Amino acid sequence: MRKFDIASLEDLLPETVRQIALVIGFPATQQLIERFGGACFPVGRGNRQTGERRLELLRETVGEDNTRLLMQHFGGESSLVIPRCAVAFREWRNRCFLEDVDELVSNGESLRMALTLTAPRYGIANTWAWAILARRRSPPPASQGDLF
């Protein structure tokens, strides 16, 4: 699977992630999510020694400058909840899966064989693989506003 590219899925990201990305950029935000996604992460202002271990984890993950920026923007008494971005990760996985299936089919494999070879690599069951393909083939339903 290709390396996850969070910037290409900006419209699927929670507002918190967009705010973080505005502060430290998408590459560092992606590193933060990959390491701490789903965690409630207190970000202090660096005034007390008690939060030093968490700050060190941030430094290891996103670097000194980005840690400082996170402290300035999100530091205080509340915690920063770092979303898992499950919807975005699932969409990325599905896009990569479809690209791999398309490549196999364009190289002469049948669609059924392409699914047999590809779905297990992505942890996708056969029925779900067919559902992903069906969703790609059928356009989303029109809203009432599009009818008039």
Provide CB contacts within 8 A for 120, sequence distance 6+: none
The mean pLDDT of the chain is: 86
pLDDT tens digits, one per residue of 37-67: 999 878 766 555 556 788 899 999 999 999 9
Q: What is the pTM of this model?
A: 0.71
Provide CB contacts within 8 A for 80, sequence distance 6+: 16, 20, 40, 41, 42, 43, 70, 74
pLDDT score for 45: 60
Count of the separate structural domains present in the chain: 2
User: Do 106 and 77 have their domain in common?
Assistant: no
pLDDT score for 47: 55
User: Do 33 and 53 have their domain in common?
Assistant: yes
Residue 123: is its pLDDT beyond 60? Answer: yes
User: Do 36 and 64 have their domain in common?
Assistant: yes
30 domain-assigned: yes
Distance separating alpha carbons of residues 22 and 17, to the nearest angstrom: 9
**Residue 101, domain extent:** 87-136
In the predicted model, what is the mean pLDDT of residues 29-39?
92
User: Do 16 and 41 have their domain in common?
Assistant: yes
| CA 91 to centroid of chain Cα atoms | 8
